[in-house]
Amino acid sequence: MKTPIRTALVAAIALAVAAGPVAVPAMAHTAPTASARTASASSLAGLDIAALQRTIADLPADDATSAVIRVSGRAGSWRGAAGVRDVASGQPVLADGRFRAGSTTKVFTAAVVLQLVAEHRVALNRPVQHYLPGLLPADYPAITVAQLLNHTSGLRAADGPGDSFEDQYAHRFDTTTPLQMVASATAHPLEFTPGEKQHYLNINYTVLGLLIEKVTKDSYEHQVQRRILDPLGMRDTYYPGDDPHIHGPHNLGYQRTPGGLVDVTDWNVSAGWAAGDIISTAADLERFTVALFSGRVVPKAQLHHMLQAPKGITMYDSEDPAAYTMGLTRLVLPDGTVAYGKTGERYGYLTGMGATLDAYGRIDRTLVFSVGSTDAKSASGNPRKVPIFLAAMQNS
């Protein structure tokens, strides 16, 4: 996940932007109707369904227009959906609609790299400079594949059009290539010596996408399609490239500004690439989550790396211990439950996936959710993220 649980619990900070984009009129609150909110008849032992229902019972609301939640496990499943497909028509949310899944893309990228490790085509402790000579400056120290995977490389973030929503929105149709991202990031010195700290940054996975292409002599997108999407039957998941549209049935995304809600559904997310541009559905992500934690995507010897955060180092900007693994985050919840998860944010969309395992490493429970977040990229994250995760993953 983007932030540790304790950090994400801080109250959300409102995104202040100058008025400018043409805004959708602010929506009026309406209670979810029976058709806009559904749940399966089967429930999971120990799951607090009432707590889950409360996390989305008031949608649409100021912080989100919609939500879709899927929880599954050995004891059964629960499905919930609330809110609207779009604020203009007020049509009920599409429980099977596509959405931008953001940084959950990193889990797919990490899985392909670890498959290549299992095939002895990539070595975790070998410098990425061995596979991609000339990509990084000659005066950079060795940065291993493992350090890219667990965000301990020391690479800096690539520069962008600006941090504010107004700046980002003005450039929403720009196309950015992976090599441009790397060139921007490596125009600066490293933040720290590789392996000394952990700093979650997209650039690590941009380089990993290029690594996949170099080793396989194929496009990154096709490798994910061939290795993961096709075998798992994930027919509603795809990479948009520089196409700003979401194709197929989908819920619209909005960003709240001082002038009202701005429709941000159409957006060129090419800058995210292997770090954050996948489009999916809750059902497809659930299929992937179950397969991943069952050892059907990454062999169990390599899956172990996705469950272990590097020891003995702290985060770059705090003294908190490193929590990011290779593609995921390891969390100890307030009730002592150990959970693994990943969230992703794009303007208008918040996505999460995760799982808890039993003492034998078998899946106890999985969670996938999509929230039509209207405060994406705020400092503390959408306020529904942590309550949904805790309600789904802790035992009542």
Instruction: Please give the pLDDT value at position 46.
Output: 85
CA dist 234 and 286 (Å) reads 10
What is residue 333's three-state secondary structure? coil
CA dist 374 and 6 (Å) reads 22
Q: What domains can be seen in the chain, in order of their start residue?
A: 5-393 (3.40.710.10)
Share of the chain above pLDDT 90, in %: 81
Band (42; pLDDT cuts 50, 70, 90): low
Instruction: Please give the pLDDT value at position 22.
Output: 35
Cis previous bond, 60, omega within 30: yes
CA dist 111 and 122 (Å) reads 13
Is 42 exposed, middle or buried (CB count within 10 Å of its CB: 0-12, 13-18, 19+)?
Answer: exposed
Q: Which two tokens stand for residue 265?
A: 């559904």
Per-position DSSP letters for 64-92, written without gaps between them:
EEEEEEEEEETTEEEEEEEEBS-TTT-PB
CA dist 320 and 340 (Å) reads 17
Amino acid at site 113: V
Q: pLDDT for 324-345, tens place per residue? A: 999 999 999 888 889 999 999 9
CA dist 196 and 337 (Å) reads 28
CA dist 94 and 92 (Å) reads 6
Q: What pTM does this model have?
A: 0.90
What is residue 275's three-state secondary structure? helix
Spell 195-213 as b/e; 16+ CB within 10 A means b: bebbbbbbbbbbbbbbbbb
- Asked if 206 contacts 135 with a C-beta cutoff of 8 angstroms, the reply is no
- Asked if 185 contacts 86 with a C-beta cutoff of 8 angstroms, the reply is no
Place of tokens 């808890």: 356
- Once rounded to an integer, what is the mean pLDDT over residues 142-148? 98
CA dist 340 and 164 (Å) reads 30
Q: What phi, psi does 213 have (nearest 5°)?
A: -65, -40
Task: Indicate which residue of 66, 72, 103, 370 is catalytic.
Answer: 103
What is residue 213's three-state secondary structure? helix
Instruction: Please give the pLDDT value at position 43.
Output: 58
Share of the chain above pLDDT 70, in %: 89
Is 103 one of the annotated active-site residues of the chain?
A: yes
Q: pLDDT for 157-173, tens place per residue? A: 999 888 889 999 999 99
Q: pLDDT for 200-222, tens place per residue? A: 999 999 999 999 999 999 999 99
Instruction: Please give the pLDDT value at position 230.
Output: 98
Place of tokens 């194929």: 218
Instruction: Please give the pLDDT value at position 37.
Output: 41
- Asked if 100 contacts 349 with a C-beta cutoff of 8 angstroms, the reply is yes
